[in-house]
Each structure stands twice: as structure tokens, then as C-alpha cells.
Structure 1
Amino acid sequence: MSDVPVVFGGEVSSETLHLSEFHGTRTRGLDGLAIPPRSGLGGRVMEQRRPAAVSDYGASMSITHHFDRPVLGEGLKSILAVPVVVAGVARIVMYAALRERGPLGDRVGDIMTTAARRLGQEISVRDEVDRRVRLLATTRSMLDSDVSRTAELRSVHEELSDLARSIGDATIRRRLDAVAARVAASFGQDIPHDIRAQEVSQSLTPREIDVISQVALGCTNIEVATRLSIGAETVKSYLRSVMRKTESHTRYEAVVACRRLGVLPS
């Protein structure tokens, strides 16, 4: 706007307008000025969320005069203030000013209001992007926490199950199995209720469960053999037995079936 010698403005933060951007000013009196709601022309605009103008700032009866010194010190008389409103809140206030008395004119008002509307749309888009980024970060944090918790519970479940299988005392073994079941239930592990499922899960021997547990961790037959200190052919034999009992055709299907039966954590 070449016909407007002074343009300035700032952002609203914590319900206070902070002037920070200037073009055409001669002094630094307005720089950093903090304007609360209802104070001066900017405070009025911020509060009412609509444009306002004065043709003679120093003599105007429609505004307070808290900022006469910096405004008049800059020599400003005719001033138009336009808010940038987003979601019903003034986020920025823009000013256009003359150093002589008189209205700025409709053309200047149209330019300022159009600019405010476009800027408001840009801020709205930016706010939505920021909101989604925050939501994504929060969701990711929650998922990471859940994954970490589930992994730890699975580890505890495996240790309890291994310990139960190594105990000779039937009473202690049942107690450990009960605790393992409670741990499994805490992270959504399904416990079989139908008789057929219980029969299949109970038919699996401790060694077969050891083998399928290692397979569920992604181990190859050789790795399972090394971990359990048995031969690779023995691993294959146990794995074939598990697949037969669970009516599975592949290692993956056997793992899925054992998880569904509650033998392995989901």
C-alpha cells in the first residue's frame, strides 16, 4: 500500500497484543509495546474482534489513551486496526496509519481486511497441522509405552511358564501356571474356554512348548536347538508334533494356533 506511509502490527499472546513488526516508522516508541484488551485502538479491536478506525487518534473519544505518548510521538493521527481472527480469537492485529487527520478510505480498508482474512486462513491451516502433529506424537508415545509394557509382560509370562515347567512339585507348578495366566490376561491374552481347545493345549508337552516358544521369537531350527541344547532333528520332531496337535500346516500357523490356545502370549 504505497499510499499508506505506516504499517505495523503484532501477535496476540496470553490475551496481550505485542507489537513487533513495523514499516515506515521513524521512532522506536511502538516497538515491543504490550497492549492488553480494551486498551487503546488495538486493545479495542482485539476485544471486539472486528476492525476499527480513528481519524484523529489524540482527540478520539472512542478509545482509551494509555498509549498516546508512543503513538503521538510517532506522529500518527489517522489509524485503522484490523484483527486476524481464527476460531473466534484475535491472533494478530494489523495497523495502517497516516500522519494527518482524516479517514484512510475504503480501498485501504478492503486491502487490510482481505489480507487479514487470508492470513487467518493460513494460521488456521497451520494450527490444524500442529494439532495433528501433536496428536501423532501423543499417539506414538502411547503406542511405544504400550508396546514396551506388553513386551515386558510377555517376557515375565515366558519366564513364569519356563519356571513352572521346570518345577517338579505339582502344587507349586499349578500356582506358577495361575500367575502366568494372570500376566497373560493383563495384556489381552485369550485363555481357552472350550473343551477341545483345553485338550489341545494340555496335550502339548513342556518340551514342545519350549520349542514353539522359541519359534514364536523368530528362531530358526538351528537356533532353537542351540538355545535348548538339543539336536536340530529333535527340534523338527517336536515342531511336527505341535503342528499335528494344533492341525497346522506351517510353523507360522502353529505359532498362531498356540497363541489362540493361550499356550503362547499374543
Structure 2
Amino acid sequence: MRAATTDVSEHAVVARAVTALTQRTSFPLAFGGLEHDGAVHVSAIAGARTRHLEGLVVQASRGLGGRAFVERRPRLALDYRTAKTITHDYDRAILGEGIATLFAVPILVSGRTRGVLYCGSWAQAPVGDAVARPAFGIADEVAAELRIRDEVQRRLAHMPQPAETSGIAPAAREELRESYAELRAISAEVGDAGIRERLRRLERRLAALSREQADPALDVRLSPREIDVLACVALGATNAGVADALGLKEVTIKSYLASAMAKLDVTTRHAAVAKARRAGLMP
């Protein structure tokens, strides 16, 4: 079977993870893919010696990866050829590549398996904590990005088109602002610079959908963190609440807020929010 066509950006997420597996574990070979129509479609391969793994589609419950998929936990075949606890539906691909040890780690998003990452070696290789821990971490990183993508897409699906914003109801506008603030809080937790930049582009799209006409006379520049703080303040959060949302200390929030107020030339937090909106810095 050939793999289904997948979203380009999702494919890139898996490709980065597969490359990272060969760099951060002792396994020389890695491959993986996301779930589509109840099966895992392998879309990325790193370190393979042959083309046997290309286009592999793993059905739920079948093979090592299929078990990891339905059981939602890692599965290991130290000697794949003689493994008796799995079906051998995919021997042509796995043994054709010459794999002896195969380790499958599910990608779990909110309790649902969204894909499987595999590590393999051509000789039998023990899998201890030092090997397993990086693989678990990479699977968690993929899950985190997919979870963010899901939330962003869910919220964007309810966004009005730009032509509709002139008559948007106050309640709907507040929902847009809440989405914007939450997205910025999520972005603050992401360590990958590329992911953060994609999130920033989505934030700008949300802001453009809901902001009032910017006043060109207000030429103010705030740092990303200052905007993060004001976005939370706009929802009525206290300094402690902002600190909790952004994972910072309360004294740090006070510092960012004071800096933003100084740049905006205002004396209250609410005035800072209002002026930042007029300057087109946030919705």
C-alpha cells in the first residue's frame, strides 16, 4: 500500500522528529508517520539502506507499530524476526531493510494516538533508559506541536473573514481576543524557533481579523513579551494570573507591564491595553 497524501507542514513535523531520532538516540535508522483513516502512513525515513520502508502503511493492531498504536504505549522487538507477540504483516518491509531490533513509540495527543515513531538497528541492540528517554521526548515534542496546531485550527475555524469584522458582535470580538491571548500563552511554552515563528504568523492573522482600525499617529513598538502580558491583562487577569499563564514570576510580569506602560505613555494597565489596540499592536 502507498501512503496517503498528508499536509505538507505535518509531514515536516514528522520528518524533523525522524531526523532527531537518529541524532539523539543510538539507533542508526528511524521512520514514522501520522494516522490517516485508522492506519499509520510512514511519511519520513532517515538512515535506511534500502527502499523497503517507503510507502509503508501500518494498520491498527498489526505489527509492532500497530500494537503501539492501539495500546498507546511503546513496544519493543529485540529480535524482530523471531518476535512472537506481534503479527508479521510487514516482514517484507522490516526484514527487507534488514532490521533486527525495532522500537515503536506512539505519538499521543490528548489521549489519542496520532501516529507512531520507529527506531531500528540492523543488529540486536538493547533499549535502556538512556536510549528510550530521548525517543519519548521526541514523541512528546511532536505531540505538543500537533496539539497546538489542533487548537489553532479549531479557533481559526470560528474566525470571521476580514470582510465580516466591521459588523462583528462585541461578544464575538471578545472571543477573538481571548483566542489571541491563549495562542500567545501557548507560543510562550514552545522552545522550537520555527514553530514559534509559525505561531506568530497565526497570531498576526487573528489580530488582523479583530483589531480596530489602527491610528497611524501612534508609532509605538512593544516587545513580544510586553504584548503577551497586555493580551492577558486585556482579559482581566491579575499579575499573578498573567504570571501563571506565561510561566513567569509575578515580579517579571510587573516589570514587563511597567515597561509597556512607559512606552505607551499611560499610567494604568487598562489604558495601556486601550492604547496598544489603537496602535494596532493587538486585537
Give TM-score, length-normalised by structure 2.
Answer: 0.48
Q: Distance in 1 between matches of 2:166 and 2:66?
A: 44
Residue 142 of structure 1: how far off its partner (Å)? 11
1:235 maps to which residue?
none
The answer to whether the 8 A contact 1:40-1:65 is kept is: yes
**2:153 corresponding residue in structure 1:** 130
Structure-2 separation of matches of 1:140 and 1:84: 39
Among 13, 38, 63, the residue aligned to 2:86:
63
- Counterpart residue number, 2:50: 27
Q: 1:79 aligns with which of 102, 116, 119?
A: 102
Instruction: Name the counterpart of 2:28.
Output: 5
Distance in 2 between residues matched to 1:50 and 1:34, nearest whole Å = 19
The amino acid of 2:33's aligned partner reads: G
Between the aligned partners of 1:62 and 1:117, the Cα distance in structure 2 is 26
Name the residue aligned to 2:141.
118
Decide which of 59, 79, 89 is 1:36's aligned counterpart. Answer: 59
The one-letter code matched in structure 2 to 1:5 is P
Task: Give the secondary-structure state (helix, strand or coil) at the position aligned to 2:158.
Answer: helix
Identify if the C-alpha distance between structure 1 residues 141 and 31 changes in structure 2 by more than 3 Å, giving closer, same or farther. Answer: farther
Structure 2 counterpart of 1:18, from 41, 47, 56: 41
- Evaluate the alpha carbon distance shift between residue 76 and residue 8 of structure 1 in structure 2; reply closer, same or farther with a 3 A threshold: same
Change in Cα spacing, 1:58 to 1:129, as seen in structure 2 (3 Å) is same
Higher fraction of helix: 1
What corresponds to 2:186 in structure 1?
A: none
Residue in structure 1 matching 2:126, options 103, 106, 128: 103
What residue ranges of structure 2 are gaps of 5+ in the alignment? 1-23, 170-283
Q: Where do residues 104-253 of structure 1 align in structure 2 (5 Å cutoff)?
A: 104-137=127-160
Contact persistence 1:45–1:81 (CA under 8 A): yes
| Distance verdict in 2 for CA 1:25–1:136, change over 3 Å | same
Change (3 A) 1:88 1:56: same
State the Cα distance separating 1:29 from its structure 2 match. Answer: 1.1
- With over 3 angstroms needed to count, the CA separation of the structure-2 counterparts of 1:36 and 1:2, relative to structure 1, is closer
Give the superposition deviation at 1:102. Answer: 3.6
**C-alpha separation between the residues in 1 aligned to 2:38 and 2:161?**
27
1:105 Cα deviation (Å)? 2.5
Q: For 1:104, what is the secondary structure of its paired residue?
A: coil
Gaps of 5+ in 1: 147-266
Change (3 A) 1:104 1:61: same
Q: Cα gap change, 1:56/1:129 in structure 2, threshold over 3 Å: closer, same or farther?
A: same
Give yes or no for contact 1:78–1:104 (8 Å, CA) kept in 2: no
**Which one has a bigger Cα radius of gyration?**
1
Percentage of identical aligned residues:
36
Q: Deviations over 1:1-43 (max 9, x none)?
A: 3631101111111111001111110111111111110010111
Inter-partner Cα distance in structure 1 for 2:88 and 2:118: 17
| CA 86–141 in structure 1, closer or farther in 2 if over 3 Å, else same | farther
2:140 is aligned with what amino acid?
A: R
* CA offsets 1:81-107 (integer angstroms, 9 cap, x no match): 101111221112111111112423321
C-alpha distance in 2 between matches for 1:9 and 1:74: 15
CA distance in 2, matches of 1:106, 1:70: 27
Aligned residue type for 1:64 = T
